[in-house]
């Protein structure tokens, strides 16, 4: 287990799913965690968890991102976890869905990176972890056009930031999960009507025969937060989907 004692970590979309599990794992590794989300009710479930303070943050709002970083001060580790899955192909997707996907899945990360990076550069140390997906430049997935395009962009922005700041003590890596148990995955399965069939279909695309857990993804995030000899990489953690 990495030792993150003394590190200040900011997590977006931390109220549920992978973000929540990762905020808890960072805190267990000794970090001081700022867990942020728009869902303040769900953030309440951290209630008094040691090492975790919660903040409302809408990552679509540049001024709010800047204001929060002014409030928190130095951030050593940034975990950009916010993202949304739209259904549709290039022909059926709505233009407004693509615009929203770029704003939430890509530009939100640029906002938070711009806010924390000058401080990281000044301290010559920082780890930025961006949530991508294997549904991206790694793998085409049916009916996930806006998602695949934007998660590929996350890998591109990760590599661009890594290349520009590798000499300044900054590491910037992407996490690319397969299918992971989470509240939004549950709603996507329910929305398909026949829950059991939808669930079986999601499981069948994972060669390991099961969905991933948020905790398994959190382990990789904790590793990357402390890792000192890797940058610009897209880490697949996908139950064998892309073997
Ligand atoms: P989730 O989708 O269940 O939860 C998402 C969280 O994001 C919610 O708490 C929501 O309130 C928050 N959020 C939404 N809009 C926001 C905004 N504007 N500002 C701040 N927070 C906002 O969680 P999940 O399924 O674990 O997904 C988390 C990330 O992991 C996403 O980027 C997703 O694309 C990625 N991912 C998930 C899977 C999966 O199978 N679950 C696979 C690959 C990648």
19 lines ligand 1 (CB under 6 A): yes
In the reported structure, the alpha carbon of residue 43 is separated from the centroid of ligand 1 by a whole-number distance in angstroms of 14
As to burial, measured by CB atoms within 10 angstroms (0-12 exposed, 13-18 middle, 19+ buried), residue 5 is exposed
Nearest CA to ligand 1 atom 24: 17
pLDDT at 238: 98
Nearest CA to ligand 1 atom 39: 180
Per the document, the length of the chain is 243
pLDDT band at 112 (very low <50, low <70, confident <90, very high): very high
Residues 141-159 have pLDDT tens digits of 999 999 999 999 999 999 9
177 lines ligand 1 (CB under 6 A): yes
Residue spans of beta strands (DSSP E) within the chain: 8-11, 32-37, 52-56, 77-80, 126-131, 170-177, 234-237
Most informative mutation of 59, 80, 82, 155 for ligand 1 (most atoms within 8 A of CB): 82
59 lines ligand 1 (CB under 6 A): yes
Residues 201-212 have pLDDT tens digits of 999 999 999 999
Q: Does the structure's ipTM exceed the value 0.95?
A: yes
146 lines ligand 1 (CB under 6 A): no
Residues 29-74 have pLDDT tens digits of 999 999 999 999 999 999 989 999 999 999 999 999 999 999 999 9
pLDDT at 48: 87
Q: Residue 91: how many CB atoms within 10 A of its CB?
A: 6
Residues 68-92 have pLDDT tens digits of 999 999 999 999 999 999 999 999 9
212 lines ligand 1 (CB under 6 A): no
Nearest CA to ligand 1 atom 23: 17
As to burial, measured by CB atoms within 10 angstroms (0-12 exposed, 13-18 middle, 19+ buried), residue 87 is middle
129 lines ligand 1 (CB under 6 A): no
Positive or negative, the CA dihedral 67, 72, 74, 77 is negative
pLDDT band at 1 (very low <50, low <70, confident <90, very high): low
In the reported structure, the alpha carbon of residue 167 is separated from the centroid of ligand 1 by a whole-number distance in angstroms of 31
pLDDT band at 126 (very low <50, low <70, confident <90, very high): very high
Catalytic amino acids?
Answer: 147
* Cα–Cα distance, 47 to 51 (Å, whole number): 11
Residue 169 has pLDDT above 70, yes or no: yes
Q: Which two tokens stand for residue 5?
A: 């004692």
Token pair 């040691």 is found at 50
What percentage of the chain exceeds 90 in pLDDT? 98
In the reported structure, the alpha carbon of residue 37 is separated from the centroid of ligand 1 by a whole-number distance in angstroms of 10
In the reported structure, the alpha carbon of residue 228 is separated from the centroid of ligand 1 by a whole-number distance in angstroms of 27
Beta pairing partners, 10: 34, 78
């Amino acid at each position: 287990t990495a030792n993150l004692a003394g590190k200040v970590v900011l997590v977006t979309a931390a109220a549920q799913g992978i973000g929540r599990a990762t905020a808890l794992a960072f805190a267990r590794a000794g970090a001081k965690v700022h867990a942020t989300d728009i869902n303040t009710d769900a953030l309440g479930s951290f209630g008094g968890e040691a090492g975790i303070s919660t903040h409302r943050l809408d990552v679509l709002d540049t001024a709010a991102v800047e204001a929060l970083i002014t409030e928190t001060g130095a951030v050593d580790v940034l975990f950009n976890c916010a993202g949304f899955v739209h259904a549709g192909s290039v022909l059926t997707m709505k233009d407004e869905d693509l615009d929203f996907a770029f704003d939430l899945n890509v530009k939100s990360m640029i906002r938070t990176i711009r806010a924390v990076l000058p401080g990281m550069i000044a301290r010559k140390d920082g780890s930025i972890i961006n949530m991508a997906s294997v549904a991206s430049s790694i793998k085409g997935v049916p009916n996930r056009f806006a998602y695949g395009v934007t998660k590929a962009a996350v890998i591109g922005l990760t590599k661009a930031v890594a290349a520009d700041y590798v000499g300044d003590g900054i590491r910037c890596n992407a996490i690319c999960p397969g299918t992971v148990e989470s509240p939004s995955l549950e709603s996507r399965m329910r929305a398909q009507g026949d829950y059991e069939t939808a669930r079986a279909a999601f499981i069948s695309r994972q060669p390991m025969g099961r969905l991933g857990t948020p905790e398994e993804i959190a382990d990789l995030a904790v590793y990357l937060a402390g890792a000192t000899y890797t940058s610009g990489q897209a880490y697949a953690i996908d139950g064998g989907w892309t073997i």
